[in-house]
């Protein structure tokens, strides 16, 4: 028995000197703005696994109106969502993600991100794939007002 899930997220870019993305910090001349650490990729993955298991979404689990969630580590949110999904009797078969960013280059950081995501989820690195797309210099992504991420996940009955 299988279930598919989809996650999508966007964060505004602002002044700063690094991006928290995929559970690691990569050098950049801007930062993603958000209530938590604004890790757009971990947020998309969190929504994908919760959606696949029909167990809610990241905003329901961690409301941004709750001061406890201010500056929260997105890895911690993903770990808690994954525990909820596992408790529901599901294993993560694989996930496939796209980061939408005009800059910086994501591919050099892919191995570290895959390692970190696999570690947070407790799956093999081979179950995690990741790619990146620019916005072709147009729109909010291309003009560097925002970054985004998308994720699909497949769950199988434990
Ligand atoms: O060539 P195409 O229009 O399909 O893609 P692109 O958005 O121009 O990106 C070209 C390649 O650069 C992508 O396939 C990624 O491998 C890489 N890329 C990246 O490493 N970091 C980004 N922020 C965007 C793209
Ligand atoms: Zn987010």
For ligand 1, whether the C-beta of 132 sits within 6 Å is: yes
Q: Taking 90 as the threshold, does the pLDDT of residue 120 lie above it? A: yes
Pocket test for ligand 1, best of 30, 133, 135, 137 (most atoms within 8 A of CB): 133
The CB of 28 under 6 Å from ligand 1? The reply is: no
In the structure, ligand 2 is a single-atom ion and the residues with CB under 5 Å from it are: 9, 43
Ligand 1 atom having least distance to the Cα of 135: 7
**pLDDT tens by residue, 60-119:** 999 988 888 888 899 999 999 999 999 999 999 999 999 999 999 999 999 999 999 999
Written as six digits, the tokens of 81 are 């969502």
Kindly provide the residue ranges of all beta strands, DSSP E only, lying in the chain, ordered along the sequence.
2-15, 19-21, 24-26, 30-33, 90-100, 128-133, 146-157
Residue of 107, 144, 146 to test ligand 1 pocket, by largest number of atoms within 8 Å of CB: 107
- Total-model pTM: 0.96
Q: How far apart are CA 56 and CA 123, in angstroms?
A: 22
> What is the best residue among 98, 134, 143 to mutate for testing ligand 1's pocket, by most ligand atoms within 8 Å of CB?
134
pLDDT-derived band at 128 (thresholds 50, 70, 90) equals very high
For 13-43, how does the pLDDT look when each residue is reduced to its tens digit (9 = 90+)? 999 999 999 999 999 999 999 988 999 999 9
Whether the CB-CB separation of 34 and 148 falls below 8 Å is answered with no
CA distance readout (Å), 38 to 28, 33, 109: 14, 6, 18
Instruction: Say what the pLDDT of residue 123 is.
Output: 98
| In contact, 138 and 132? CB cutoff 8 Å | no
Show the tokens assigned to 10: 């966007």
Whether residue 140 has pLDDT greater than 90: yes
Q: Of 95, 93, 105, which Cα lies nearest the Cα of 132?
A: 105
CB of 94 sitting under 6 A from ligand 1: no
Q: Is the peptide bond before 104 cis (omega within 30 degrees of 0)?
A: yes
CA distance 2 to 4: 7
The three-class DSSP label of residue 77 is: helix
pLDDT-derived band of residue 8, with 50, 70 and 90 as boundaries? very high
- What is the SS3 assignment for 53? coil
2-157: what fold? 60s Ribosomal Protein L30; Chain: A; (3.30.1330)
Give yes or no for residue 106 CB within 6 A of ligand 1.
Answer: yes
pLDDT at 149 over 90: yes
């Amino acid at each position: 028995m299988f279930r598919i899930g989809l996650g999508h997220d966007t964060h505004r870019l602002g002044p700063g000197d690094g991006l928290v993305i995929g559970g690691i910090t990569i050098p950049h001349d801007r930062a993603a703005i958000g209530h938590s650490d604004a890790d757009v990729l971990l947020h998309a993955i969190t929504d994908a696994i919760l959606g696949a298991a029909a167990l809610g979404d990241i905003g329901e689990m961690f409301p941004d109106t709750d001061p406890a969630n201010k500056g929260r580590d997105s890895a911690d949110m993903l770990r808690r969502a994954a525990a909820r999904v596992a408790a529901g009797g599901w294993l993560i078969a694989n996930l496939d993600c796209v980061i939408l960013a005009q800059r910086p280059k994501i591919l050099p950081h892919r191995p570290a991100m895959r390692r970190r995501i696999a570690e947070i989820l407790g799956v093999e690195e081979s179950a995690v794939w990741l790619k990146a797309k620019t916005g072709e210099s147009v729109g909010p992504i291309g003009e560097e007002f925002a970054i985004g991420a998308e994720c699909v996940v497949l769950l199988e009955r434990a």
